[in-house]
Each structure stands twice: as structure tokens, then as C-alpha cells.
Structure 1
Amino acid sequence: MKLNIVPASTGVTWARAGIRTFFRQPLAFTGLFFMFMAALSVVAIVPVVGGLLALVLVPAATVGFMAATEQAAAGRFPMPTILAVGFRRGPKATRALLLLGALYAAAIALVVGISALIDGGRFAQLYAGGEGISREMVMDAEFRTAMWVATLLYLPVSLLFWHAPALVHWYAVPPVKSLFFSAVAVLKNSRAFLLYGATWMLVSFAAGLLLLLLTLATGSPTIAQVGLVPAALVMAAMFFASIWFSFRDSFSPDEQDAAALPPDPGDAALPGA
């Protein structure tokens, strides 16, 4: 496995590839993303430990969605079973993904815990889905501070875990090492990732503006109310689809990688292979 340094403009290419691949199979991707979120939501309702268990499964679920993107980009129809591809490499690979998930859950718990020290846990309750947001909450200085602190603390977590699930799955990198390699890859390609993030911000702004213009043109707020959730679902599915391309272009296999893992007929090929 070797790290590729890509031009800054590649960040735009990743976002465009995610959007283009989504529209090749829009129903499949929308359904897969809904299943992705529904599965995590079902796990999250388990009393006491559900929220942590859902976080533990995030890396494996992300690998499944990335594999679905690879199949769609290759012209194949991604079946729902592709979401479980992370657990089809055998016990050793499964344990590695679950260990990575445990590290992710611990990182998120630490971020949310620090925010709770600032506002008494109100942002933590909102994050866990136990409390709805209100105008009074948004106007509260402590809540806003907790929200911004959590956002800033999540940035290094995102950097560590961006490529980590895919590195564990496709290259058999040990979980802790995958965090290091992920961070290095993102930092080495920081210009591409900054442009990637900016592109998605513009796309999100354009989608919101379109909903606003439709609402103003019809004079009916129902369009915004009804269209907001589907639009957010589609945007999130397109974004998740683009993650595969950022990983594919950041790493290339070497001669040893082809034999590093047992083959899986339903799995994606090694990036760049």
C-alpha cells in the first residue's frame, strides 16, 4: 500500500464522482442509506448501551456503503447485503473492524462528555436524540459554546477515522495503525480535502436555496417542510458515496496487497487494482 499525493482539484472530482454515481442508481443509494441509518437507529434504542453499540457499528457500515459505491461506479447494482460486507472477511477482519468501532465510540463519548462539562449535558442529550432543539436552547450561550467545542473536537476525530475503516477492510491494516495512516493521508492531501469540503458546502447551499426559491415561487411553506427531509437524505447519500473516491485516490495497492486478505465474491476490489 502506498500513499498518493493528489492535486487540490481532486477534491472537486471526489464530490462530482459521488453525485454522478448516486444518480446512476438513485433508488438503490437512497434505499441503502435509509437502511444504513435505520439499522444504526434500531441498535441505538437498546437500553443503556444502544447508543455506544450504534457508534461501534459505524465503521463497518461505512465500509458497506463504500463497497456499494464501488459496485455502482463499476456499473453493477448494489444489493442490500453489501452493507454487511465488512463482516464477510472472516473472524479476524470482523474483530478488527469492531475494535476500530470501539475506538470510534470512545472518541465520540469523550467529545460529547467534554461538551457536557460546559452546558450540563444539553448538547449531549440533543446529540443522543433524547431532546429536541428549541429557540431558548439555541439562544443559550453555554449551549452554543458546547456545540462549537464539540464541533472543533470532532475535526481531529474525523481526520483519524476518515480512511481508517477502509484501510482495515481492504488493506488489513491494524486498527490503531489505520488511524495514523488515515491522519497522514488527510493531512498530506489537505488542499484536496479543503476543496472537497468547500464543494459540499456549496452543493448544500444550492440545495437549500432551491427549496427556498420553490417555496417563494409557490407561496407555500409546505414545500420546504415536506422537501427538507428527502433533500437531506439525498445529500447525505451523495456525500457518503463520495467517500469511496477519496479513499481510492489516496491509496494504491502494491504487490503484497492482493494476497493480504481472503477474497469475497461480493466485495469491492482493492482501490487502484
Structure 2
Amino acid sequence: MNLKIVPAKTGLKWVSQGMTTFWRQPLALSGLFFLFMATVSIVSIVPFVGGALALIVLPPLTLGMMAATQMASEGKFPMPSVLFVAFKDGPHRKTMFHLGGLYAVIFLVVMFLSTLADGGTFAKVYFGGAAMTPEVVTADSFQTALWVSMLFYVPLSMMFWHAPALVHWYGMPAVKSLFFSFMACWRNLKAFVVYVFAWGVVFMLTGVLALLISSLMGNPGLMTATFMPLALMVAAMFFTSMLFSVRDCFSTDVYDEPPASADRPE
């Protein structure tokens, strides 16, 4: 397996591939994304440790969405069980949970650093322990904490972007997968900037479409009711597109069970 460098325009290709694959199995992938969010929400309500558990299961569930995308790209219908493929008995299950534990620890460190800016208000709002009021959001300390958390969350995202796939399909140890994931994002930073910007535009256009629909219906109150399902659909497309960045940033194709015609790893 070798790290590959791709041109900036590849970021647009990942967005296009994510959308195209989503529309091959829109009901299945939408349902799996809803199940993804429901699982995280249910785990998060476990007393005392729910917040940490929700963070731990994020990398395994993200791998499940990638596996579902793999099936959809092959014209197969991904069943709900594919979302939990990382939880099944296998050689990499323990490593995947190590990865989840690392994500939880680092994320909580990021939240702790944000408390140094505002005394913990941003962290309380994020974890649902405080209400998000206009007064709270517009406070200078809250804004500072928000920017601090974003500053540290970017490298965190880079470390974990490819990591679930590298553990599950390439058999890497957890820490090594974080290093290779970060390097893949860093070496292909232009492509990822284009990718993130393109999805930002898609989300903004989704809001414009929801506003247009509510205006045409003559009921401004429909804005939220229209925007939410559209936003969830776009979010599902975003998760669907993640697999294609893994494929292009590394020299081997991602397959759970490589077909006979698949190229062998370099």
C-alpha cells in the first residue's frame, strides 16, 4: 500500500462519486445514515458514560457507512447489519475499538482546551448540558472557545478520516492508521479543501432550495420542515463520499472480499 498524491480537482470527483453512489441506493443509504445517528443518540443516553461511548462508536459506525458505500457502488443493496460490520468478530475488531477509544480521548482533550477560553460554556452547549441561546452564542468567550475547538478539531479529523478504513481493510494498528490518515490528508490538502468547500456549497444550496420551496408554498413555517430532510439526505451523501477519498489516496482498492478480477495490492 502506497500513499498517492491527487490533483485538487479530485475533491470534486469525490463529491460527484458520493452523490452518484447515493442515488443508486437512496433508501438504503438514507436509512443507514438515520440508523447511524439513532445508534449514537441511544448510546449517548447511557448514564454517566454515554457521552464517551458515543464518541467511541463513531469510528466503527463510520466504517459501516464506508462498507455500505462499497456495496452500493457494486450495485448491491446494503442491509442494516452492514453498519455494524466493525462490531462483528474479526481480526481487527479490537483494534477498531482502540481507535474509538483514541478518538474519544483526543476529542475530550479538545473540549477541555475550549474550556480554557470560556470556562466550559461551549462544551456544555455541545454536550447538551446548556441551552444554546443568542446571548450565549454571541458572547466573546463562547466565540473564542468555538474557534479554539475548530482549530484543534481539524487535525483530529485528518487523523481519523481514513483511519477506520485503514484498520478494517488494510489491517493497520490504530496509532499507525492515524499517522497515515493524517499524512494522506496533508499531502492531498488541496483536494480536501476543494472537497470541503464543494460540500459547503451543496449544503448552502440545500438551504436556498428549502427557502424557495417554503416561499412558493406561501408558508415560511415550512422552512425547517423542508430543510431538515434535505439536510439529512445531503449529510448521507457526504458520508457516502468518504470511501472514494480512501480509494484515491491509497494505492489499493477497498474491498471486504476482493473479487477475482480486482487488482492485487502494490
Task: Note whether the superposition's TM-score is higher than 0.5.
Answer: yes
Residue pair 1:252, 1:272 contacting (<8 A) in 2 also: no
Deviation (angstroms), 1:218: 2.9
User: How far apart, CA to CA, are the structure 2 residues paired with 1:182 and 1:169?
Assistant: 13
User: How far apart, CA to CA, are the structure 1 residues paired with 2:32 and 2:149?
Assistant: 28
- 2:190 alignment counterpart: 191
Cα-to-partner distance string for 1:154-195 (whole Å, 9 max, x where unaligned):
001011111111101100001001111011111111111111
Deviation (angstroms), 1:123: 1.0
Say whether residues 1:59 and 2:59 are aligned partners.
yes
- 2:37 alignment counterpart: 37
User: TM-score scaled to structure 2, two decimals?
Assistant: 0.93
Q: What one-letter code is carried by the residue in structure 2 that aligns with 1:143?
A: F
Q: Which aligned segments of 4 or more residues in structure 1 are displaced greater than 6 angstroms?
A: none
Alignment of 1:14-25 (within 5 A): 14-25=14-25
Say whether residues 1:147 and 2:150 are aligned partners.
no
Q: Which 5+ residue runs of structure 2 have no aligned equivalent?
A: none
Deviation (angstroms), 1:216: 2.7
Deviation (angstroms), 1:89: 5.2
User: How far apart, CA to CA, are the structure 2 residues paired with 1:113 and 1:5?
Assistant: 35
Cα-to-partner distance string for 1:188-221 (whole Å, 9 max, x where unaligned):
1111111111110111111111112223333311
- 2:179 alignment counterpart: 180
Secondary structure, counterpart of 1:46 in structure 2:
coil
Say whether residues 1:247 and 2:246 are aligned partners.
yes
Say whether residues 1:228 and 2:227 are aligned partners.
yes
Q: Which 5+ residue runs of structure 1 have no aligned equivalent?
A: 259-266
Secondary structure, counterpart of 1:48 in structure 2:
coil
Residue pair 1:67, 1:268 contacting (<8 A) in 2 also: no
User: How far apart, CA to CA, are the structure 2 residues paired with 1:204 and 1:225?
Assistant: 14
Cα-to-partner distance string for 1:124-172 (whole Å, 9 max, x where unaligned):
1121123331111122111111111111110010111111111011000
- 1:160 alignment counterpart: 159
Q: How many residues align?
A: 262
User: How far apart, CA to CA, are the structure 1 residues paired with 2:263 and 2:81?
Assistant: 24
User: How far apart, CA to CA, are the structure 2 residues paired with 1:247 and 1:143?
Assistant: 35
CA gap of 1:68–1:155, structure 2 versus 1, over 3 A, is same
Q: What one-letter code is carried by the residue in structure 2 that aligns with 1:95?
A: K
Deviation (angstroms), 1:228: 2.3
CA gap of 1:106–1:151, structure 2 versus 1, over 3 A, is same
Deviation (angstroms), 1:21: 1.0
- 2:26 alignment counterpart: 26
Deviation (angstroms), 1:222: 2.2
User: How far apart, CA to CA, are the structure 2 residues paired with 1:41 and 1:47?
Assistant: 13
Say whether residues 1:201 and 2:200 are aligned partners.
yes
Cα-to-partner distance string for 1:61-96 (whole Å, 9 max, x where unaligned):
011100000100110000000011113352x41110
Secondary structure, counterpart of 1:3 in structure 2:
coil
Residue pair 1:52, 1:105 contacting (<8 A) in 2 also: yes
Q: What one-letter code is carried by the residue in structure 1 that aligns with 2:4?
A: N
Secondary structure, counterpart of 1:24 in structure 2:
coil
Alignment of 1:68-83 (within 5 A): 68-83=68-83
Deviation (angstroms), 1:4: 1.6
- 1:262 alignment counterpart: none
Alignment of 1:67-106 (within 5 A): 67-88=67-88, 90=90, 92-106=91-105
